[in-house]
């Protein structure tokens, strides 16, 4: 390892810069552009209540008749072309979940004279729009909310209730459930007739979709009014594929476990959704130090190309909301369990020596290490309050960890310096003055060269990363300790 003039050491070869003063510096993003795992919300057709369709019962009835006329024409056209229920079911629905309509039900018509196909088609559209008066009018015309529309070919199986949930219309959801709509198309309170193999039900998985879509009013309704389980978890199909050796040999993989708390932390509003959080925290079986979200990272090979590394990063509920910058949630969680020992768990490492050697690491992200560059940048005041709360409760501010967003282990002080969070640096150094002289690891790109991993004392690191505010704090503490 080579040393620079100000005490910075390059870990991975090459020479360090001759001087740090007035040096144009570009900070390399560690691992990912955002400190949080990237998640893009899918386009939504949600219509705010302020502009949702409003009409009198008479107007809604007239609109229903108009739309049903068009829908009946479409049904007849498709039937003339040879479309039938069995063909549509084969193309539109999963073979594991056949249509629930019996021949007698499918061929019968309500007293209004309109076919169930047409009524279901219009109801799905009305639910998607959040048009409650139109939905009510369709029930007056005899619609069956659980009838599967077969008058058009679609890639996935939908019904009115699912459409209303996907669009975030809680008033329509409530009305449909009260009128007998279910998430699985069967009988019951919006639930499956039996448990899934992992113990969760259809409404629980729907709650996951709602949480990640950001419809917290719908999530609150499903949990409080319909009894959905907020502790539901789900891994995408890629997770099982990534854990197979044949896939691990090829390329690196990053897979996120879906949980309700993770969805709330990403998209929720701290003031409006605190009631929902308190409900989740009060759920039987909830523990603030238990796993609340996981990220699986699979690196195919080590530097010598002979060993694969798989790491499962686990976030407790406390670490999850530290990363999100939710002060009120953290205060509630610390009231339930304030012991640092419950959250600061050492890594567990398993090795497998076979045809393809591998090392599996199970890492729990410590609360202070959950304060990311993004947290400091996006919620500076909250991040400082959180850090001080954790310090008051005796949490570790020294031990480095490699989170899913780091290219190498980083200490809490290194993360604060990178974000130029001088008040956070001041709080940590006041709590542990020895940090001023303890070397930290960091990675930067200097003068357009290939970025390198450096190790240096905090002041030299702050100079190299261009964190002027942190430099002032650290220089002052160095003088104080020298005196």
- For position 396, what pLDDT does the model report? 96
Please state, as a whole number, how many other Cβ atoms lie within 10 Å of the Cβ of residue 290: 13
Domains of the chain: 49-181 (1.25.40.20), 190-370 (1.25.40)
Q: In angstroms, what is the C-alpha Rg of the chain?
A: 28
- For position 145, what pLDDT does the model report? 85
pLDDT by residue, tens only, the chain of 483 residues: 555 545 566 555 444 444 444 443 334 434 333 333 433 444 444 444 444 557 888 898 899 899 888 888 777 776 665 544 433 333 343 333 444 443 334 445 677 778 888 888 899 999 999 999 999 999 999 988 887 655 444 433 458 898 999 999 999 999 999 998 888 644 444 443 335 557 888 899 999 999 999 899 999 999 999 999 999 999 988 888 777 755 555 677 889 999 999 999 988 777 778 888 989 999 999 999 999 999 999 876 655 556 778 899 999 999 999 999 999 999 999 999 999 999 999 999 998 877 777 888 999 999 999 999 999 999 999 999 999 999 999 999 999 999 998 888 999 999 999 999 999 999 999 999 999 999 999 888 766 666 788 899 999 999 988 899 999 999 999 999 886
| Residues 6 or more apart whose Cβ sits within 8 Å of residue 283 | 229, 230, 231
| Residues 6 or more apart whose Cβ sits within 8 Å of residue 450 | 14
- For position 113, what pLDDT does the model report? 78
- For position 343, what pLDDT does the model report? 97
CA distances from 424 to 15, 216, 377, 437, 463 (A): 31, 31, 12, 17, 17
- For position 176, what pLDDT does the model report? 94
CA distances from 274 to 253, 270, 332, 334 (A): 34, 6, 10, 15
- For position 237, what pLDDT does the model report? 85
Query: Which tokens go with 214?
Result: 């950001």
Report how far residue 301's alpha carbon sits from residue 459's, in angstroms, rounded to the nearest whole number: 35
CA distances from 339 to 318, 362, 391 (A): 11, 21, 12
- For position 451, what pLDDT does the model report? 75
**CA angle centred on 258, ends 256 and 259, rounded to 5°:** 135
- For position 45, what pLDDT does the model report? 44
Please state, as a whole number, how many other Cβ atoms lie within 10 Å of the Cβ of residue 53: 15
- For position 99, what pLDDT does the model report? 41
Report how far residue 213's alpha carbon sits from residue 207's, in angstroms, rounded to the nearest whole number: 10
């Amino acid at each position: 390892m080579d040393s620079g003039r100000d005490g910075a050491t390059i870990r991975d070869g090459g020479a360090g810069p001759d001087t740090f003063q007035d040096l144009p510096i570009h900070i390399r993003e560690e691992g990912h552009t955002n400190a949080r795992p990237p998640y893009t919300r899918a386009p939504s057709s949600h219509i705010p209540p302020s502009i949702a369709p409003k009409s009198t019962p008479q107007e809604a009835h007239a609109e229903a008749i108009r739309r049903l006329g068009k829908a009946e024409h479409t049904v007849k056209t498709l039937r003339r072309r040879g479309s039938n229920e069995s063909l549509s079911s084969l193309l539109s629905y999963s073979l594991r979940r056949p249509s629930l309509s019996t021949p007698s039900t499918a061929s019968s018509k309500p007293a209004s004279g309109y076919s169930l196909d047409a009524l279901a088609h219009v109801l799905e559209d009305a639910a998607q729009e959040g048009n409650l008066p139109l939905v009510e009018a369709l029930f007056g015309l005899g619609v069956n909310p659980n009838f599967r529309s077969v008058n058009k070919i679609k890639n996935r199986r939908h019904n009115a209730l699912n459409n209303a949930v996907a669009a975030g219309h809680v008033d329509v959801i409530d009305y449909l459930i009260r009128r007998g709509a279910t998430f699985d198309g069967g009988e019951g309170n919006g639930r499956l007739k039996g448990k899934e193999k992992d113990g969760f039900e259809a409404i629980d998985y729907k709650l996951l979709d709602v949480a990640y879509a950001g419809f917290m009013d719908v999530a609150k309704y499903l949990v409080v009014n319909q009894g959905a389980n907020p502790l539901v978890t789900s891994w995408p199909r890629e997770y099982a594929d990534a854990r197979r050796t044949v896939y691990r040999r090829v390329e690196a993989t990053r897979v996120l476990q879906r949980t309700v708390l993770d969805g709330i932390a990403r998209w929720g509003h701290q003031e409006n959704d605190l009631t929902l959080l308190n409900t989740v925290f009060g759920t039987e079986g909830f523990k603030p130090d238990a796993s609340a979200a996981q990220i699986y990272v699979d690196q195919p090979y080590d530097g010598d190309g002979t060993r694969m590394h798989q790491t499962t990063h686990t976030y407790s509920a406390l670490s999850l909301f530290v990363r999100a910058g939710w002060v009120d949630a953290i205060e509630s969680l610390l009231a339930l369990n304030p012991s640092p020992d419950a959250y600061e768990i050492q890594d567990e490492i398993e090795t497998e020596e076979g045809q393809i050697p591998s090392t599996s690491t199970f890492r729990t992200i410590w609360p202070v290490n959950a304060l990311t560059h993004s947290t400091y940048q996006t919620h500076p005041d909250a991040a400082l309050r959180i850090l001080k709360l954790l310090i008051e409760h005796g949490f570790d501010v020294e031990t480095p960890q490699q989170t899913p967003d780091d290219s190498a282990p980083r200490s809490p002080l290194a993360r604060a310096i990178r974000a130029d969070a001088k008040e956070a640096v001041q709080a940590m150094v006041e709590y542990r003055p020895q940090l001023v002289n303890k070397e930290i690891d960091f990675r930067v790109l200097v003068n357009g060269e290939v970025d390198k991993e450096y190790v240096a004392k905090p002041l030299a690191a702050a100079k190299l990363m261009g964190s002027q505010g942190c430099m002032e704090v650290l220089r002052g503490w160095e003088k104080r300790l020298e005196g």
